[in-house]
Chains A and B, each alone.
Chain A
Amino acid sequence: MITAERKPISEIKEMIAPYRKILVVGCGSCVAECASGGEKEVGLLASAIRMDAKASGKDIEVKEMTLDRQCVYEFIDQLNDVIDQYEIILSLGCGAGVQAVAEVFPKVHIVPALNTTFIGQTKEAGLWIENCRGCGDCKLGVFAAVCPVTRCAKGLFNGPCGGSRTDRCEVDPEVPCAWQLIVSRLQDRGRLDLLRKVHPPADWSKQQGKGPRKIYREDQRS
């Protein structure tokens, strides 16, 4: 999923300060799963904004709404009937959601309530870890399903570097060395041979070659 964290309330307050009618819009997908932008978080943030306004004697109107997905037009259309009544949309979608909503309603001011962080996995309750950079050229088959681009601090394809000690990354001792994982998994599977050849330089053009990437599928267009 795409993970995100809510911005500090002070930053959010500053963005919405000039406005009186605020529509707080959550997203029921990834950011709901990582407990940063779903219906519940929308409710909490809206309450916080109302209480803050009340405390400072400001008269505001805050409406809550959560779309199934903020990054798909057919769900964004649910805002059609209410959007005109508000001066600003405070989005709890990921960066893709915020931009998609802004595209549908170019005249409405929209600001993000979240910092979108990474593609990750729920490791345990309340812990999410990054494990994919969306490089567009997945090599997990060679690296025992451990992504060195994401999980090695230096993104080494022919690791490990000289800094790993007792299974830990030199950069953050709380993080396991990705290369230690790769090597021990392949050792267990009797496939260390996969690492015996020099892995050639990556093709980063698949990640960032010509600006933003797109996927175009003729078969999906009719």
Chain B
Amino acid sequence: MMTESRLKKILQSGNFAVTAECGPPKGADPEVVRSKGKILKDYTDSVNVTDNQTGVVRLCSLAACALLKADGLDPVLQMVTRDRNRIALQSDVLGASALGIRNILCLSGDHQSFGNQPQAKGVFDIDSIQFVQTVRTMRDAGEVIGGEKLSVPPQMFIGAAANPFADPFEYRAVRLATKVDAGAEFIQTQCIYNLNRFKEWMGLVKDNGLDGKVYILGGITPLKSARMAEYMANNVAGMDVPDEIIKRMKSVPTKEQRQEGIKIALETIQALQAMKGVHGVHIMAIEWEEAVPQIVQDAKLFPRPKG
């Protein structure tokens, strides 16, 4: 089965890409994945499947990607280096490719101490940048780490994450440059609530000559409530939710806060569309996949181009 990455085609054709996130269930029910896929299918180009996010045991991302693939979606396989050593990672990349999965997002992963297995041994045999380089070498040189040849190399459109809001700020662009050198072809960013800081970061990206070298998809997470905004601001590592956003969420009645969250998301998308060097959005509607169709429609990003 020869397939190609829809995400890659969309980005290469110059269209503003829309990806979304699908969190697998804490259980073995494939229908949860399928029904989320059904909601997202027509409104996105590709769908990321998270890999035991926040260190909580969930249905594995590779299996969930295979389920989505079978239903005609273009999955983005998120893989973290927290739980697998280089043998397992490379093996899973080959397996994913064999299943027709064509996109991968290489991550180090949330630390295991945050999840429901805090006594687990964190593997971290390689880090996310080394993982990007590994997949790139597997694909382009047809070699695993150490140089042994693969009979058939994997086909993968290779992505990495970037957090424009984490410290040390100036170094973040250097780190992005290193990720691009390692072989990253697309970047999905941390959720954007602080547009000014994101603009500043995009400035650094341009100054480092990276805007033409990598596709950047801005992260969007619609807020469900003022409480969620506060929680993210105070308790989620690497998240930057400015006070104005929290105030704005608080200023509307609880019942209307979800719609306000969507409004903020739409404004952010609009700002991102106008920003040179931003090639799409990655919508992470956490356990709220139903919000995605409305956001995509209201942002006038529907219908999606045929990939």
Contact = CB atoms under 8 A, between A and B. Distances in A.
A165 B166 contact: yes
Dominant SS among interface residues on chain A? loop
Given A160-B168, A162-B166, A165-B167, A154 B82 contact: yes
Contact of A192 (B114, B162, B171): B171
Interface in A169-190: 170-171, 177, 179-180, 183-184, 187
A201 B134 contact: yes
Nearest to A155: B124
Contacts, number: 104
A10 interface: no
A197 B134 contact: no
Given A156-B124, A162-B161, A199 B130 contact: yes
Interface centre among A153, A157, A165, A187 (most CB of B within 10 A): A165
Nearest to B240: A165
The size bracket of the interface on A is: 20 to 34
Contact of A198 (B122, B167, B178): B178
Given A171-B111, A183-B171, A195-B178, A158 B122 contact: no
B181 to A, nearest CB: 6
Contact of A170 (B128, B134, B238): B238
Contacts of A167: 167
Interface residues of B, number: 35
Name the residue among A171, A184, A187, A192 with the largest chain B CB count within 10 angstroms.
A171
A153 B238 contact: no
A162 B130 contact: no
B182 to A, nearest CB: 5
A130 to B, nearest CB: 15
Contacts of B128: 156, 158, 161
B56 interface: no
A165 B109 CA distance: 17
B126 interface: yes
A202 B182 CA distance: 16
A202 B166 CA distance: 25
Contacts of A160: 166-168, 171, 175
A162 B129 contact: no
A201 B125 contact: yes
B182 A183 contact: no
A142 to B, nearest CB: 13
Contact of B168 (A158, A180, A197, A199): A180
Contacts of A159: 127
A98 to B, nearest CB: 24
B253 to A, nearest CB: 31
Interface in A101-141: none
B238 A164 contact: yes
B166 A154 contact: no
Given A160-B168, A170-B111, A201-B145, A196 B178 contact: yes
Nearest to B163: A162
A185 to B, nearest CB: 11
B133 interface: yes
Interface-central residue, B110, B167, B182, by most chain A CB under 10 Å:
B167
Contact of B111 (A154, A157, A196, A204): A154
A198 B181 contact: yes
B190 interface: yes
B108 interface: yes
Contacts of B122: 153-155
A144 to B, nearest CB: 13
B107 to A, nearest CB: 9
Interface in B67-117: 82, 86, 108-111, 113-114
21 contacts: A154-B82, A154-B108, A154-B109, A157-B127, A157-B129, A158-B130, A161-B108, A161-B238, A162-B238, A163-B111, A164-B238, A165-B238, A166-B167, A171-B111, A171-B113, A187-B171, A196-B174, A197-B181, A201-B145, A202-B125, A204-B125
Interface of A: 153-167, 170-171, 177, 179-180, 183-184, 187, 192, 195-202, 204
